Amino acid sequence: MTTTVRAEVAEYLRRFDAVSAAIPEPRRSELRAEIQEHLTDSIGDSAGTEEASLVILEFGSPDEIVETELDGASTKRGTPRWVLRAGAIAIVAALVIFGITQLPRLFESAALAGGAVVTAHPVGVERVTTGRAYAEYQQEITKLSALPEGSAWPEGVPAGLDAGATVDSTTGEVGVLEAGAGQVAARFTWLCAWENEAVIAHDHSADDRLVAAIAELKAFVAAATTESWGPGGSWTSAVLTPTDYDNFGPIRSDVAESCMQAGITIH
C-alpha cells in the first residue's frame, strides 16, 4: 500500500468517520484500515482524479459500507439515521452503485407539468421548524440560488440535527453532533432539486431547462469551498463533467443519494 493517502481516499475516509460511530471498536478502526488499503491499492499511484473517483463510486458510499457492516441491526432499511461530524451529513441508506445499476427514469411527463420532489412538505423524514439547525438552514437558503420552477424549500429540517449530545431513538446510542448541520441540509436540498431537474430535462429533451440546470450546477461548483464539490473535485469529475458528453448515468445515480442526504424520498 502506498504511504501517501490520495486526496480522494482521504475524503472517503473522512466521510466514513462521519457515519461509522455505530460500529463498535476495535472493529471500526479495523474496517477503516481495510477500506483505506483496498481503495489505495485499487486506485494506485498513476490513476488520474477521474479514474480514482470512478473506483470510489463503484466501491460504494461509506453509508452503504456501514449499513452492510451493521447488517441491518437495530435499523429498518430505508429509515434514515442522521449522523454529523466535521460538517458532513449522511443518511444510512442503500446507495445505487454507479457502474452496476442506474436508476430508472425517475419521473414521467407529469413531472415536467409541475411535479417536484423538493417541495414545502416533501416525502421523507420528520421535519422541525425550531432549533439551531433550522436557523442555520434558514440562513443558508438565502445564500443559495433559487430552486427550479415548481420546487420550494421544505418548511423545516430533518429532526435531530441540532448540535450537542444526542441519543439515537432506535439504538439508544449516545453521540455528538457538531454545528453546521442545517447549512449542509440546505445544500443537499438544493443539489437534490437541480440534479433532478437536469435528469428530467434530459430525459424529456427539454433543452432550455437542461442548459439552465447544468449552468446552475456549474455555478455551484465554481462557488464551492469544499474540495470534493469544487472545480476538479471528485463529485465534479465523476458526476457533473460527464454531462458535457451527454452521459447522464452518473448524475442519474447521484440524485438519489443527494435527495436522501436532504431527507427527501424520491419514488
Domain ranges of the chain: 7-261
**Please, which pLDDT band fits residue 243 given cuts at 50, 70 and 90?**
very high
Segment 63-73 shows an average pLDDT of 72
> Which pLDDT belongs to residue 61?
81
Least confident of 46-55, 148-157, 258-267: 46-55
> Which pLDDT belongs to residue 190?
95
pLDDT of residue 60 exceeding 90, the answer is no
Segment 169-178 shows an average pLDDT of 58
Neighbours of 101 (CB within 10 A): 10
> Which pLDDT belongs to residue 81?
29
> Which pLDDT belongs to residue 9?
84
> Which pLDDT belongs to residue 50?
67
pLDDT of residue 204 exceeding 50, the answer is yes
> Which pLDDT belongs to residue 178?
67
Q: Mean pLDDT highest for which of 13-27, 46-60, 153-167?
A: 13-27
* CB 215, CB 208: distance < 8 Å: no
> Which pLDDT belongs to residue 57?
73
| pLDDT greater at residue 80 or residue 266 | 266
Neighbours of 249 (CB within 10 A): 14
How far is CA 248 from each of CA 18, 75, 102, 224, 266, rounded to the nearest angstrom?
29, 32, 10, 22, 18
pLDDT of residue 219 exceeding 90, the answer is yes
Segment 205-234 shows an average pLDDT of 85
Question: 104-157: per-residue pLDDT in tens?
Answer: 333 333 333 335 899 999 998 899 999 999 999 999 999 999 999 999 999 999
Q: Mean pLDDT highest for which of 29-33, 75-79, 94-98, 176-180?
A: 29-33
Q: Mean pLDDT highest for which of 44-48, 63-67, 250-254?
A: 250-254
> Which pLDDT belongs to residue 115?
56
Neighbours of 160 (CB within 10 A): 21
> Which pLDDT belongs to residue 175?
57
Segment 41-57 shows an average pLDDT of 75
> Which pLDDT belongs to residue 202?
93
Q: For residue 208, what are the contacts with CB-CB under 8 A and spacing of at least 6?
A: none
Q: What percent of the chain has pLDDT over 70?
A: 72
SS3 per residue for 67-98: HHHHCCCCCCCCCCCEEEECCEEEECCCCCCC
